[in-house]
Structure 1
């Protein structure tokens, strides 16, 4: 009877976690999986304790707390796979400077030229965004591709609503990228190790890979930044 109750509890818990994962934004999925893993390990530790297997339960319990960021050994969670607090990636064109906050996954941009200079994209109204899109389209650089990456992420259905043209695909990065720009794209500081560069690249590609609904342009910039730094 006890085994049946435990099996039902595991099945119900797994179903609930699956529903929560499906409803979780992509930018928060990694954090959700880490916490879900921590809860699962605590449950396993509790089961082993109930069965009297204390020696096996203790390390599993500690690992579970570490994933939840509650371990005395790792108060902020395990050091591997962590983001640096306040870390931001930055990509800029002649008209737009875009930033991604690694902690929240929020992306926003500041207009650098034209009638909306100095304003954030998130503060522009629908008509202003349309006008800025026309401005980006008229400029012979990657401003349109960068702006549309933000629209795809922040304004679902904008292309159909505006009756815009086809998506800009295969957008190539600029021919030359400086080391400072590459560090800004990956959200790193001077002196970052090769492992830190690869980790930042992998994390950002999970966000922006075209196969996951991301941006061709931003994926190309992220790949170029890694190539410059390694």
Structure 2
């Protein structure tokens, strides 16, 4: 009976832990995980000392080293795992819905500073920093101050990094005042011409001739064997997700349009 009750308790506890992991921030997971490991080792050490099994304690610590290194690696990879298994941020903590089209597909868009991922099912946008002072960081792990620093760096990029980041910021409730960052920057740049360069950069848009078939497939999230119907279905899902009314941008829409046009041209005889 005792084992039966213990099993039920462990099952319920596991359910709460899984539910918490599905919405927890990566930094909170790492912090709590570290405390759990420290407390567990502390309790184990105290028990071994009280029972006089000091040698066993030393042996246990030595044996635990490989496992601790694995735990550390999992903690460092948590942002990637979180995105792969759908634990991405959903505005306001709302559960992500699933769409009938494009199920299981993820589109990729790369700029000088960012490698972005757009989930077809939920419409969630996530990404990794590939250049600058915070290279390797996941966007979902950045606080508001760090995000502002990244925004300043992207404003100096020669491509559309700023535009893509602004699309992501529109979907971050805690960064709802990001437009003020641009206003402050324009005031600081008064008279030096940098703001004008930003407008020239935004007006330059995207030239479809710069895209190849591989990049087009990554943008739409389709395989090399994708049919016309699959390409058009992926396009419909994505173009709706990046519409300006839904926090998207003209630049992302132009990339998706160019990708669709390029792939459909490959079917022409």
TM-score, normalised to structure 1, is 0.60
2:133 corresponds, among 115, 121, 133, to 115
C-alpha change, 1:143 and 1:213, in structure 2 (3 Å) is closer
Q: Looking at secondary structure, tell me which structure has more helix per residue.
A: 2
C-alpha change, 1:213 and 1:129, in structure 2 (3 Å) is closer
Answer 1 or 2: higher relative contact order, Cα 8 Å, separation at least 6. 2
Q: Does the 8 Å contact 2:102/2:237 carry over to 1? A: no
Q: Deviations over 1:27-54 (max 9, x none)?
A: 74x75xxxxxxxxxxxxxxxxxxxxxxx
What runs of 5+ residues in structure 1 fail to find an aligned partner? 1-24, 32-80
- Determine if the alignment matches structure 1 residue 173 to structure 2 residue 192: no
Q: Does the 8 Å contact 2:120/2:237 carry over to 1? A: no
Partner of 2:69 in structure 1?
A: none
Partner of 2:251 in structure 1?
A: 217
TM-score, normalised to structure 2, is 0.52
- Give the deviation of 1:158 after TM superposition: 2.5
Q: Deviations over 1:53-102 (max 9, x none)?
A: xxxxxxxxxxxxxxxxxxxxxxxxxxxx44332x1000001110000122
Q: Does the 8 Å contact 2:101/2:121 carry over to 1? A: no
Q: Does the 8 Å contact 1:90/1:97 carry over to 2? A: yes
Determine the C-alpha separation between the residues in 2 that align with 1:212 and 1:102.
14
- Give the deviation of 1:191 after TM superposition: 1.2
Q: Does the 8 Å contact 2:101/2:233 carry over to 1? A: no
Determine the C-alpha separation between the residues in 2 that align with 1:117 and 1:225.
27
2:144 corresponds, among 122, 126, 147, to 126
Determine the C-alpha separation between the residues in 1 that align with 2:204 and 2:257.
13
C-alpha change, 1:84 and 1:212, in structure 2 (3 Å) is closer
Q: Does the 8 Å contact 1:97/1:109 carry over to 2? A: yes
Q: Does the 8 Å contact 1:171/1:216 carry over to 2? A: no
Q: Give the root-mean-square deviation of aligned CA atoms.
A: 2.9
Partner of 1:106 in structure 2?
A: 124
- Determine if the alignment matches structure 1 residue 227 to structure 2 residue 255: no
- Give the deviation of 1:161 after TM superposition: 4.8
Q: Does the 8 Å contact 2:101/2:234 carry over to 1? A: no
User: 1:225 aligns to what SS in structure 2?
Assistant: helix
Q: Deviations over 1:83-122 (max 9, x none)?
A: 332x100000111000012233321110001110100111
- Give the deviation of 1:128 after TM superposition: 1.1
Q: Does the 8 Å contact 1:183/1:225 carry over to 2? A: yes
Q: How many residue pairs are counted as aligned between the two chains? A: 157
What runs of 5+ residues in structure 2 fail to find an aligned partner? 1-93, 187-194, 265-269
